[in-house]
Amino acid sequence: MLAIGRALMAGPRVVLLDEPSLGLAPLITRRIMHLLQDLRARTGLTVVLVEQNARTALRSSDRAHVLDQGAVAAEGASADLLGDPRVRAAYLGL
């Protein structure tokens, strides 16, 4: 959380976050994702999110690229990927 705050102090147009949920409680993860969504809406900041928690990432983003062993397995609007049966079965455990 400190690293995110420090990055935002520089006033960037784009910020890259690598696994911001790693090691955090689910409640804190949800809070961070909601804050990032709010920040994007208010400032127009572009957030590039690298996240293994596919459900959280897809719910918190507009577009997504799903990787499988380094290759793009699916890409498109996050809402579409959340509803895609292949993505749901392979990455969301549904």
Domain ranges of the chain: 2-91
Model pLDDT for residues 6-64, shown as the tens digit of each residue: 988 999 999 999 998 888 899 999 999 998 899 899 999 999 999 988 888 999 899 99
pTM value is 0.79
* Residue 94 in this model has a pLDDT that exceeds 80: no
In angstroms, rounded to a whole number, what is the distance separating the alpha carbons of residues 32 and 11?
18
* Residue 73 in this model has a pLDDT that exceeds 70: yes
pLDDT at 14: 94
CATH code of the domain occupying 2-91: 3.40.50.300
* Strand segments (E) across the chain: 14-18, 46-50, 63-68, 71-77
Over its C-alpha atoms, the chain yields an Rg (Å, rounded) of: 14
